[in-house]
Chain A
């Protein structure tokens, strides 16, 4: 009996060593941790339950039968993050380069199925050379099975991808369908075709980092939601994100004890909006002064900076924030910001996370590049997302809410539950100057008359009261009491219920 137990220990020891000490050292040498070390950092100490430790591939081509390492290049199982259950898979680059075989994929599928059944998030740590070429179509079939599960799990349990090494070719499409993608600076990259193929086909010379590094995907392509300095920081930040998220679409977002008075007044917000309507200010200051303990988890912070998206807590409860950022492009809506915010709104709605919208929007960005690239359909995504979202929606208009963009930004007309405005709000079809030039076209040549008309228009519309008269604004609130008013607004919406007509699913303008 003892021999048998010892043998198990030996087998386990072998499996835990992955590709062996030499490869582990090489992995460390590249500034990367091993699959198991990453799991250790991701999960609560001692909470990891591993499955399929002894799975080995079944390929017999190209001499593969001679190397059948335990685990087959991926470590899978479940554990907890601050006591809450999550499923995890972590590709092991030290074992056959983390390449995906049929069995490797099966391991991932197994824990995804468990996650779906048991209602817990899936976190995938990607560090893989790609398909196991020796297996051919078996490997592709494996990817396909994972893809299908990503799709089924979407909107059922949160899915998070952490790219911690290469992720190329078809492999990118699994993370692409998850809710969040995080990358590690300098050690991770993602692309459909690598630099060599790019050079052959298009003659472009580009490095892997330029083509698909963390900077590219957080700033240019928006494929990734954030990038971190190293593995340790990335995993700590994933833990922080999980603290904000519900476990599945049937459970409520988490609540945790808080030490910040929901009634806290912030007098300095009374001077946040500058006197000059064309001067920018930092909307992040409002977010951090409203949030519990100033804690804002920003999503896509490096992309489309004219809109801010991320999570805060109010009274210890998660709230998703979408806010125009006047510091960048005057906070206008354009293709990128609409796409970014729309996806975020839909994530929140999937998982019952209430939405706070902070509005200072002068309108949509004009121009041929916007029109040619389909700002109509992309802008409609955000409009659609807000309109279909049934979670509690609270909106605060701090300054401009012009034109169609006013409607888009979680207006009362899109079933915003509570829409507040600061006294500095201007809810109008457009700015006074533009409006005057259209209404009083006849006086265009008379600068004095135009100026007087503009002043009249401003006096009439550059305030929140016309909208308030119609009930489009539920209340005009003092900036310094925004935290208190918004916290109470969400408190009043905790039992919100709405009915939507039956449909298979909607047809959001993709």
Chain B
């Protein structure tokens, strides 16, 4: 076994690898860019080597710099994590040349699977189910119809140079195929100057389900079941789970066996993932193979008890797999939610800045993968596990240079429903402040009926949130629970206010029992009957909710029991109430005496300021360039300026025709959210 390994990565995955290495008694070397000088992975590793400036193309993905670090540290092996150099065969080659082990597959496997066409060919040869289609060029419409019939409808007619939906048609009948072929061809010719067309099976109700494989250098290969990753936003996975709620044992085995066959066809040795697209009838088709550790690997670990990083290290050290296919079980259910530094209320734009608060939920070991990562057999009844893979810490900085994913929160429980419930509570207890993040969106997904039923496709987010995410509206029952909690909390805080020094003896303020709670546009009149253990909140229709909690004024997280069920609230004080966040809802809750509420109702609703004549900066970033000048007339959709944030250039466009009256920012300026960039007449 190795004495020392280098992790050619950053963030949560570097930390993840370090944890296992440490458990195995292996020393670790981290590499870091200028932006990561104080990062968690640097802190956790035994050694850390600086490899350059912040942009990844000047540090983390520069093979020479990483190789220098390898040499300087004397590491015997390198774990590449995911992304960066993980699927770069040149890097594997460079390591090989130095006699340093690559904790990943052989370079031949990387190369073979790295190319879409080659990998599909190899898959076909290995009898792996691929999307049926005709790769050759199609002469005319009649040939297109013939081929479509061979493949079976529906089919997708695609321009080979295509992209962005251009030159793409779906056909369900001969007529549609004929027509689709012609229009695709015309569109392809005009859009790309290349009218070559091909046809493949159109997969309906597609789900993204992938198989985890593990192979050693001795010809052994196993599959560790599947992961369902259908909840995606623009091909970026957001929620994953294992097992899939959709697969049956036969399909699972068929997919698993084909995945292993494919891996072995390319002499694969390490952990790898074979991605499939699965249609509504459980037909599955090979998509591609990822020759690395996958981001969502923890869910597999949680249901199988196998530490994949440990297995990768052992395989790289030449060990034989100690697990056979029979050993691989599915124990319970695991769900992963990816926490992104992306603001769901602003179209998921990246958000950067200082994490002024970062308090993940308490990690709890349960199920097959206990804290020591060893298989422990059956979990005790009712136990749920919480695991948070993270690369950040409170007071750390989310920079614009890297992936906006900052943590992977996983829960495990014996059943899917329990795992989802554990995730809801974990999300509610996860405190992240200082940056925009998708926690409320994740909460919303966890409560979505389609997700709960397991009936989802890769189009879930696009279909269910077509206009983006505006936060969750709580239903009547949840609203009452929050109202009861807020009233009980507010009363406690008001009583504390009356205990101030300097008050008039015998003329103290008496805090009353009757309150009106307003939230989400509704008002609840309640009476609070408090005793030492808690408060009984009675609504005006006679319904009662008992509220108990150890919350004290000033706590930013309230863990309550309301009506016998737990409720976790994020609490911020506002005038006469609280801002409460729970289950994806973000509520301004006011608690007032009946008289105060009566007077508050007289106050006019204020209209938000009209910003339609302003161009506001949608994210913190730097102005790269301005495309217009003051006095210029602009058309709807015309580029106005470019803002760079999170290594992305975002072009801001005119929403409507108008004339620029003033420009308040210049190239190179750093802007905050809602800074006014320009004004229109």
Listed in ascending order, the chain A residues whose CB lies under 8 Å from chain B are 28, 31, 33, 37, 40-41, 44-45, 47, 80, 82-85, 185-186, 228-233, 236-237, 240, 243, 246-247, 251-252, 254-260, 267-272, 275, 281-282, 285, 292-295
Residue B23 is within 8 A (CB to CB) of chain A in the complex: no
Sorted from nearest, which 3 A-B pairs have the closest CB atoms?
A293-B554, A268-B395, A83-B503
**With A33-B599, A233-B576 known to touch, is A292 a contact of B554 (CB < 8 Å)?**
yes
Q: Which residues of A contact B498 (CB under 8 A)?
A: 82-83
- Write 9 A-B pairs (CB below 8 A) sorted by A numbering: A45-B510, A47-B507, A83-B500, A240-B575, A247-B502, A271-B396, A272-B395, A285-B354, A294-B554
Residue B394 is within 8 A (CB to CB) of chain A in the complex: yes
Listed in ascending order, the chain B residues whose CB lies under 8 Å from chain A are 37-38, 354-357, 393-397, 496-504, 507-510, 512, 552-556, 573, 575-576, 593, 595-596, 599-600, 602-604, 606
Who on chain B is nearest to A187 by CB?
Answer: B604
Q: State A233–B592 Cα separation when bound (angstroms).
A: 11
Task: Establish whether residues B500 and A84, one from each chain, have CB atoms under 8 Å apart when the complex forms.
Answer: yes
Q: Which residues of A contact B504 (CB under 8 A)?
A: 80, 83-85
Task: Establish whether residues B599 and A31, one from each chain, have CB atoms under 8 Å apart when the complex forms.
Answer: no
Task: Establish whether residues B502 and A28, one from each chain, have CB atoms under 8 Å apart when the complex forms.
Answer: no
Q: State A186–B606 Cα separation when bound (angstroms).
A: 10
Task: Establish whether residues B575 and A236, one from each chain, have CB atoms under 8 Å apart when the complex forms.
Answer: yes
Task: Establish whether residues B497 and A256, one from each chain, have CB atoms under 8 Å apart when the complex forms.
Answer: yes
Task: Establish whether residues A84 and B502, one from each chain, have CB atoms under 8 Å apart when the complex forms.
Answer: yes
CB < 8 Å neighbour of B600 from A85, A232, A292: A232
Q: State A85–B504 Cα separation when bound (angstroms).
A: 7
Task: Establish whether residues B575 and A233, one from each chain, have CB atoms under 8 Å apart when the complex forms.
Answer: yes
CB distance from B38 to the nearest CB of A (A): 6
Q: Which residues of B contact A256 (CB under 8 A)?
A: 496-497, 499-501
Q: Which residues of B contact A271 (CB under 8 A)?
A: 38, 354, 395-397
CB < 8 Å neighbour of B602 from A28, A254, A270, A285: A28
Q: State A44–B497 Cα separation when bound (angstroms).
A: 12
Task: Establish whether residues A257 and B507, one from each chain, have CB atoms under 8 Å apart when the complex forms.
Answer: no
CB distance from B344 to the nearest CB of A (A): 23
Q: Which residues of B contact A31 (CB under 8 A)?
A: 602-604
Q: State A397–B397 Cα separation when bound (angstroms).
A: 23
Q: State A144–B643 Cα separation when bound (angstroms).
A: 58
**With A80-B509, A83-B508, A84-B503 known to touch, is A45 a contact of B394 (CB < 8 Å)?**
no
Task: Establish whether residues B554 and A260, one from each chain, have CB atoms under 8 Å apart when the complex forms.
Answer: yes
CB < 8 Å neighbour of B555 from A85, A231, A259, A272: A259
CB < 8 Å neighbour of B395 from A40, A41, A83, A267: A267
Task: Establish whether residues A232 and B596, one from each chain, have CB atoms under 8 Å apart when the complex forms.
Answer: yes
Q: Which residues of B contact A260 (CB under 8 A)?
A: 554
| From A82, A186, A294, residue with most partner B Cβ within 10 Å | A82
CB distance from A371 to the nearest CB of B (A): 27
CB distance from A367 to the nearest CB of B (A): 21
CB distance from B398 to the nearest CB of A (A): 13
Q: State A304–B396 Cα separation when bound (angstroms).
A: 29
Task: Establish whether residues A40 and B37, one from each chain, have CB atoms under 8 Å apart when the complex forms.
Answer: no
CB distance from B581 to the nearest CB of A (A): 16
Task: Establish whether residues A230 and B604, one from each chain, have CB atoms under 8 Å apart when the complex forms.
Answer: yes
Who on chain B is nearest to A293 by CB?
Answer: B554
Interface majority SS (helix, strand, loop, mixed), chain B: loop
Q: State A272–B354 Cα separation when bound (angstroms).
A: 9
Task: Establish whether residues B503 and A259, one from each chain, have CB atoms under 8 Å apart when the complex forms.
Answer: no
**With A47-B509, A269-B395 known to touch, is A82 a contact of B503 (CB < 8 Å)?**
yes
Task: Establish whether residues A259 and B500, one from each chain, have CB atoms under 8 Å apart when the complex forms.
Answer: no
Q: State A255–B508 Cα separation when bound (angstroms).
A: 15
**With A40-B595, A45-B512, A233-B575 known to touch, is A80 a contact of B496 (CB < 8 Å)?**
no
Task: Establish whether residues A295 and B554, one from each chain, have CB atoms under 8 Å apart when the complex forms.
Answer: yes
CB < 8 Å neighbour of A259 from B396, B502, B552, B575: B552
Task: Establish whether residues B553 and A293, one from each chain, have CB atoms under 8 Å apart when the complex forms.
Answer: yes
Task: Establish whether residues B599 and A37, one from each chain, have CB atoms under 8 Å apart when the complex forms.
Answer: yes
Q: Which residues of B contact A229 (CB under 8 A)?
A: 603, 606
Who on chain A is nearest to B595 by CB?
Answer: A40
Task: Establish whether residues B553 and A259, one from each chain, have CB atoms under 8 Å apart when the complex forms.
Answer: yes
Q: Which residues of A contact B555 (CB under 8 A)?
A: 259
CB distance from B305 to the nearest CB of A (A): 34
Who on chain A is nearest to B556 by CB?
Answer: A294
Q: State A236–B502 Cα separation when bound (angstroms).
A: 20
Q: State A285–B353 Cα separation when bound (angstroms).
A: 13
Q: Which residues of B contact A240 (CB under 8 A)?
A: 575
CB < 8 Å neighbour of B500 from A251, A254, A282, A294: A254
CB < 8 Å neighbour of B509 from A83, A230, A268: A83
**With A237-B575, A254-B501 known to touch, is A267 a contact of B599 (CB < 8 Å)?**
no
**With A83-B507, A233-B575, A270-B395 known to touch, is A45 a contact of B500 (CB < 8 Å)?**
no
Q: Which residues of B contact A186 (CB under 8 A)?
A: 606
Q: State A271–B576 Cα separation when bound (angstroms).
A: 34
Q: State A267–B502 Cα separation when bound (angstroms).
A: 36
Task: Establish whether residues B503 and A33, one from each chain, have CB atoms under 8 Å apart when the complex forms.
Answer: no
CB < 8 Å neighbour of B502 from A233, A251, A272, A281: A251
Q: State A84–B504 Cα separation when bound (angstroms).
A: 6
Who on chain B is nearest to A327 by CB?
Answer: B672
Task: Establish whether residues B603 and A243, one from each chain, have CB atoms under 8 Å apart when the complex forms.
Answer: no
Who on chain B is nearest to A37 by CB?
Answer: B599
Q: Which residues of B contact A84 (CB under 8 A)?
A: 500, 502-504
Q: Which residues of A contact B512 (CB under 8 A)?
A: 45
Q: Which residues of B contact A185 (CB under 8 A)?
A: 606
Q: Which residues of B contact A272 (CB under 8 A)?
A: 395
Q: Which residues of A contact B497 (CB under 8 A)?
A: 82, 243, 256
Q: State A343–B410 Cα separation when bound (angstroms).
A: 53
CB distance from B670 to the nearest CB of A (A): 10
Who on chain B is nearest to A230 by CB?
Answer: B603
Who on chain B is nearest to A81 by CB?
Answer: B509
Task: Establish whether residues A45 and B395, one from each chain, have CB atoms under 8 Å apart when the complex forms.
Answer: no
CB distance from A199 to the nearest CB of B (A): 26
Q: A230-B604, A271-B354 are in contact. List 9 more A-B contacts (CB 8 A).
A: A80-B503, A80-B509, A85-B504, A186-B606, A232-B576, A233-B576, A236-B576, A257-B496, A292-B554
Q: Which residues of B contact A293 (CB under 8 A)?
A: 553-554
CB distance from A406 to the nearest CB of B (A): 26
Q: State A85–B496 Cα separation when bound (angstroms).
A: 17
Q: Which residues of A contact B394 (CB under 8 A)?
A: 267-268
Who on chain A is nearest to B600 by CB?
Answer: A232
Q: Which residues of A contact B552 (CB under 8 A)?
A: 259
Q: Which residues of A contact B396 (CB under 8 A)?
A: 271
Who on chain A is nearest to B34 by CB?
Answer: A275
CB distance from A35 to the nearest CB of B (A): 13
CB < 8 Å neighbour of A45 from B354, B356, B593: B593
CB < 8 Å neighbour of B356 from A230, A243, A285: A285
Q: State A293–B394 Cα separation when bound (angstroms).
A: 18
Task: Establish whether residues B603 and A259, one from each chain, have CB atoms under 8 Å apart when the complex forms.
Answer: no
| From B502, B600, B604, residue with most partner A Cβ within 10 Å | B502
CB distance from A114 to the nearest CB of B (A): 14
Q: Which residues of B contact A83 (CB under 8 A)?
A: 498, 500, 503-504, 507-509
CB < 8 Å neighbour of A246 from B502, B510, B576: B502
Q: Which residues of B contact A268 (CB under 8 A)?
A: 355-357, 393-395
Who on chain B is nearest to A43 by CB?
Answer: B509
Q: State A295–B357 Cα separation when bound (angstroms).
A: 16
Q: State A236–B556 Cα separation when bound (angstroms).
A: 21
Who on chain A is nearest to B602 by CB?
Answer: A28
